[in-house]
Structure 1
């Protein structure tokens, strides 16, 4: 709302209503020309005077009410009609100007000049206990600076703000982001250096630090646990007593070389200075000593005293990932991923846009990833004549902060959310294929496809071809097919990802099918989809994925 306050220059000459006073204007500011109090805000070398009404401030703040009560010096009238001065040397002048304008109903939205002013205002709101009076403006401010874009390296700024303005959902998101993106070595230092830290409960920073250390320290034990079966297995003989050629040492060496190349070994040193988000990204690229492709050679080492089920070793590592994943979702460490998802009431839809495998054994959770990590997933595209073109995909999972939040239902089980959707039919698919479904000679595929003649035309956009094959098969069987992408928090605009986290969603989309005329849908996977979100066929719809 426009400001009508009278403005004064530094020298004191009145300019009346000729110029609206801004929150960051130096000198003297009039919030109420008949005000009985003049605040002297800030240190001597940067002092701003603000004329205010003690009555207006007292109605909004119990602290001001006490300050201007008869028992305090500030509440003693001068008797001459001259406003009494009150020094506030520790307060930020720009933030106090914004606060006084709001409490006098003379606030110009553009006066919130920077995120720094927003931070300082949060400190004042906590100090003077007037968050409720600022509620009408809070939402627009949070949307203006959703993730502290002017201070991307310090998510604790938004934690302070959310706490001061009593915004529990924003506080949860900001704390989780700080938990994942701020190294534990810096958390306690920030408590000492950030102005907003003093308004938070004294236990918050130490609690975050301890929780980070618990999870980060667990990475070390899980690194060792993954290779322990091979370290324990010292025997290398066959049943006939002859020596067995076993690549156990090579696999262990490859594993630790992989850890070292990613900076994850020695793990204690790396873990102490990394963020959880960076560690999770690095761990996705670790070469496992229990890689399924290497099991054949190891199984040849079949001495009777070594009865290792390597499938169980692989499963144990997947369970380890879920145990680590659970605390990141504010849940006790559990190895059962289905229990983890059942305990979650909601999820950011963009988090689901990865190639991670999904739960298949439980109805209502076809959308739920079984792991936060996205290792390369094998896929194939049909070339005809019973010939398959094999390839792998790895679409990383990001936290999806800022995307539309879906809710997880239990009865009936499923994920209910709005999406940007494209309902497919045979004609639409045919048009899409004409534009993107092409084959040519491409030699890069030969490493994974030695069975294909080098001169044969293949798909360069293999995942697009696989998506089209899946859609065609579903349509031919009488089902409905829907291509979907996540929306932003507003439930209207397409989600673009957070550049501060390096999110690169590219041209990908999820495919869902329905056999009951669209009442419920089943998640089929995330595929390359080359049509941009600006195509007119996209529409916003709510759906239940089971």
Structure 2
């Protein structure tokens, strides 16, 4: 297919060849270790916590097992891809750096729970070669050509665009067309060039390119959260944040989806969108919920920047670790009688706390970082419902015992809060 399928500029000097278009975005098999496939459990947790104040769906505090099997095919395991450009001198050069490395649940889980898939690649084909779809099992390094095998199922689109608009709006294309790359040489010699990309969503790519070409009458005013996340990914990859920012407020204000109150795929879409468009409050809320409900280490899902994921994992482990340490130190304090108003008080509270820890799987072995299978929100919900013993203090008044160390809800109330979300301006 040599003729353009989409013409944004009939005199355009650049043809973007999009191969393997509309590849799965947010494939759950890509990141099974993130625990994102366990959404069916969250509705049960919500129901139990609302009706009884505790979650009986877990045999121990927040401990679950990961669903699913291995990581899927090599094609699905491909890492975030980078543009594969060649210098005229055949000297490899590093591409623009890609992004690297996830409250209470809602009553109804989301129907889709897929984590982020990988970032598509952009690379160059020999002009003498026909357009071919990317090979599933070959990962090439920057500066190396890619061997490709076509497939009849793989969609291919050819989009004719203006080099002038690309040069002004995209730092990526500016470097590609004016630097010392193979594309640059071809463009300067022939005043035309083909650039090949893979995996992108065709609708998202057309939206971005129409923004770049100022074709405002063809740009939708309302995008779904999914489409907005795809457009943000493209804008980040092609380095045209300033151009897209003109439309950001319109799209965000028109969003119908709200931040989910469960640990699901849409929550990570919100983390990505709020990070990229600098939505401080929404970013804080989304990261709080992700950390509070994550059953293990969070993953970037191929999209969220490494500093964000590292900060989320660090804070989650820190807060859960503080809760576990507090429980065990309190138990030890009752044992050595440094806590409790009397021998009877410390002995009774020691026994009661030991029983609670044991029944919730927190006694032995003691949970340790990275606390896989342990959800902070479920942990603190259980802690808030530890049963405190009740006994009478026989004195001249003959009243029930009521010192400050005889109530678990009073002792641990400072721990029974969601994990505070991240501040974007501090990362």
Per-residue deviation at 1:280?
Answer: 2.4
1:106 aligns with 2:215: yes
What aligned pairs does 1:326-405 form with structure 2 within 5 A after superposition? 328=420
Is the 1:41–1:96 contact (alpha carbons within 8 Å) kept by the matching residues of 2? no
**CA distance in structure 2 between the partners assigned to 1:273 and 1:100 by the alignment:** 43
Query: 1:392-416: per-residue Cα shift (whole Å, max 9, x none)?
Result: xxxxxxxxxxxxxxxxxxxxxxxxx
- Please tell me whether the aligned partners of residues 384 and 408 of structure 2 are also in contact (alpha carbons under 8 angstroms): no
Q: Please list every run of 5 or more consecutive structure 2 residues that lacks an aligned counterpart in the other structure.
A: 21-132, 134-153
- Specify every segment of 5 or more residues in structure 1 that has no aligned partner in the other structure, as ranges: 1-9, 13-26, 239-243, 303-308, 332-546
Deviations 1:102-127 (A, max 9, x none): 22233655597754443332222222
Aligned to 1:275: 375
Task: Supply the distance in 1 between the matched residues of 2:387 and 2:267 (Cα, whole angstroms).
Answer: 32
Helix, strand or coil: the match of 2:322? Answer: helix
Equivalent position to 1:52, from 152, 156, 161: 161
Q: So what's the TM-score if we normalise by structure 2?
A: 0.53
1:40-439 alignment, distance < 5 Å: 40-43=17-20, 44=133, 45-69=154-178, 71-75=180-184, 76-77=186-187, 83-89=192-198, 91-106=200-215, 108=218, 115-142=225-252, 143-147=255-259, 152-153=264-265, 155-183=267-295, 185-187=296-298, 190-191=299-300, 194-197=301-304, 200=305, 202-233=306-337, 252-262=350-360, 264-266=362-364, 268-269=366-367, 272-289=372-389, 294=390, 297=392, 299-300=393-394, 311-313=403-405, 318=410, 321-322=413-414, 328=420
Query: In the comparison of the two structures, how many residue pairs are matched?
Result: 278
Q: Per the alignment, in what secondary structure is the counterpart of residue 144 of structure 1? A: coil
Q: Once the two structures are superposed, what CA deviation does each residue of 1:276-311 show, in whole Å capped at 9, x if it has no partner?
A: 22222222222135xxxx2x52x4499xxxxxx963
> What's the secondary structure of 2:6's corresponding residue?
strand
Matched position secondary structure for 2:178: coil
Distance 1:70 1:327, change over 3 A: closer
Following TM superposition, by how much is the alpha carbon of 1:57 offset from its aligned partner in structure 2, in angstroms? 2.1
**Secondary structure class of the residue paired with 1:274:** coil
Instruction: Check 1:217–1:141 CA distance in 2 against 1; reply closer, same or farther (3 A cut).
Output: same
Mark the CA change 1:186 to 1:233 in structure 2 (over 3 Å): closer, same or farther.
Answer: closer
Task: Indicate if the aligned counterparts of 2:16 and 2:160 stay in contact, CA closer than 8 A.
Answer: yes
RMSD value over aligned CA atoms? 4.2
Measure, in 2, the Cα distance between the counterparts of 1:327 and 1:150.
14
After TM superposition, give the deviation of residue 64 of structure 1 in Å. Answer: 2.0
Rounded Cα–Cα distance in structure 2 between residues aligned with 1:98 and 1:135: 13
Q: Taking structure 1 as reference, are residues 115 and 266 closer, same or farther at Cα in structure 2, changes over 3 Å only?
A: farther
Answer yes or no: is the 8 Å Cα contact 2:211–2:219 preserved in 1: no
CA distance in 1, matches of 2:222, 2:211: 11
Query: 1:51 is paired with a residue of what secondary structure?
Result: strand
8 Å CA contact retained: 2:388, 2:408 = no
Q: What is the alpha-carbon distance in structure 2 between the residues aligned to residue 330 and residue 319 of structure 1?
A: 27
Tell me the secondary structure at the aligned position of residue 50 of structure 1. strand
Aligned-pair CA distance for 1:175 = 2.2
In structure 2, how many angstroms separate the alpha carbons of the residues matched to 1:150 and 1:324?
Answer: 18
Alignment of 1:460-479 (within 5 A): none
Larger radius of gyration: 1
Partner residue of 1:483? none
Structure 1 counterpart SS, 2:292: helix
Distance in 2, Cα, partners of 1:138 & 1:127: 16
3-state SS in 1 of match to 2:297:
helix
